[in-house]
Amino acid sequence: MAEPSTSQVCAVVITYRPDPEALRALLAAVRGQVGATVVVDNSGPEHVLPIEASEPAVGAVLRQARNIGLAQAQNLGIDWARRHGYRNVLLLDQDSLPGEGMVQALLDAIGRLGAVSPVAAVGPRFHDLREARDAPFVRLGFPFNRKLWCRPDQPTIECDFLISSGALLPMAVLDDVGDMDAGLFIDNVDLEWGFRARAKGYTLHGVCAATMHHRLGDARMPLPLGLGQVTVHGPGRLYYMMRNRVRLYRMPHTPRVWVAQDLPRVAVKLFLFGVLVAPRGRNLRFMLRGLWDGWRGRQGPCPLVPAH
């Protein structure tokens, strides 16, 4: 059997008013590692994307008239890759920078692991440059998750979810599990898809030889009394974080252990962003509306933010 080739991989890059230099660096880093790159841009017509489809790093640019959300944008890119015959999809956010040889390492790992068990996706170990070390892979537990870091003798780590950016997904798995849940719009999209895949008997794995830089959250802010730092999100993002976690609670494929250990985090976030982190009143209003809309099953964009 022929070895899998990176020419069979299509990178799907989702953008929303990106930093031009960061986007060019991302496209340059992934060029040569994949067969094609499709950019799905959610910025809207008033924002000029600093790239063109004629650039050698880009196979297609799918410009959206409005922000259709991360999940639906990923689905459009996946559909483009499917129609053009690609066997694997590499999902990327605009805040990521793949390391050299990342895609080949992911592809090699999915080939080895797939010979043992059905694999839904593999992802790289990533490093937020504001942190002292790489982010761990995670296994669910109660009352706390298990954080697993790469060791020299451990090429891959089975985990319970992967962030979407940097994840390599076989098209055959997407055809079986289904595309991303567009109703979530943004936030917990990767978590929901991973839960759905695992419920169908697939596994997820982190690949230690594959590396990537990735920026999580909008900013970091020190907490009072020396309680450490918190990743800050805007009110709109907090709405989705609250709404979509409640939606996940009610999905049959969501692990009950995740629900049990996530519930206390709701109270923690209400306290952090409703009491300690400004704009407190606006944060609290958006979070409470998110919880209410999640209970009601609302989907799509946040109703508290003007459509654009």
CA dist 260 → 70, 151, 244, 265, 270 (Å): 27, 30, 15, 10, 17
Q: Look at residues 3, 2, 1, 12 and name the one whose alpha carbon lies nearest to residue 169.
A: 12
Q: Is the pLDDT of residue 7 over 60?
A: yes
Better-predicted residue by pLDDT, 307 or 253: 253
Better-predicted residue by pLDDT, 51 or 127: 127
Range name among 40-49, 94-103, 106-115 with the lowest pLDDT average = 40-49
Note whether residue 302 is domain-resident: no
Note whether residue 124 is domain-resident: yes
Q: Are residues 17 and 151 in the same domain?
A: yes
Query: Which tens digits make up the pLDDT trace of 35-87?
Result: 999 999 999 988 888 776 556 668 899 999 999 999 999 999 999 999 999 99
Q: For 213, how many CA atoms within 13 A lie in the half-sphere containing its CB?
A: 13
Query: Which tens digits make up the pLDDT trace of 167-201?
Result: 999 999 999 999 999 999 999 999 999 999 999 99
Q: Are residues 105 and 194 in the same domain?
A: yes
Q: Are residues 234 and 192 in the same domain?
A: no
Instruction: Name the domain count of the chain.
Output: 2
Q: What is the pLDDT of residue 1?
A: 42
Q: Look at residues 73, 39, 72, 42 and name the one whose alpha carbon lies nearest to residue 57.
A: 39
Q: Is the pLDDT of residue 227 over 70?
A: no
- Residue that is last in its domain, among 196, 214, 232: 214
Q: Are residues 230 and 106 in the same domain?
A: no
Can you read off the two tokens belonging to residue 43? 């910025």
Query: Which tens digits make up the pLDDT trace of 245-304?
Result: 999 999 999 999 999 999 999 999 999 999 988 899 999 999 999 999 999 999 999 999
DSSP labels, the chain: -PPP-GGGEEEEEEESS--HHHHHHHHHHHTTTSSEEEEEE-S-TTS--S--TTSTT-SEEEE-SS---HHHHHHHHHHHHHHTT-SEEEEEETTEEEPTTHHHHHHHHHHHHHTTS-EEEEEEEEE-TTSSSPPPEEE--SSSPEEE---TT-SEEEES---STT-EEEHHHHHHH-S--GGG-SSSHHHHHHHHHHHTT-EEEEEEEEEEEE--SSEEEEPGGG--EEEE--HHHHHHHHHHHHHHHT-TTS-HHHHHHHHHHHHHHHHIIIIISSSHHHHHHHHHHHHHHHHHT--SS-TTS---
Note whether residue 155 is domain-resident: yes
Q: Please give the model's pTM, rounded to 2 decimal places.
A: 0.95
CA distance 91 to 171: 12
- Domain that residue 207 falls in: 6-214
For residue 82, give the CATH number of its domain. 3.90.550.10
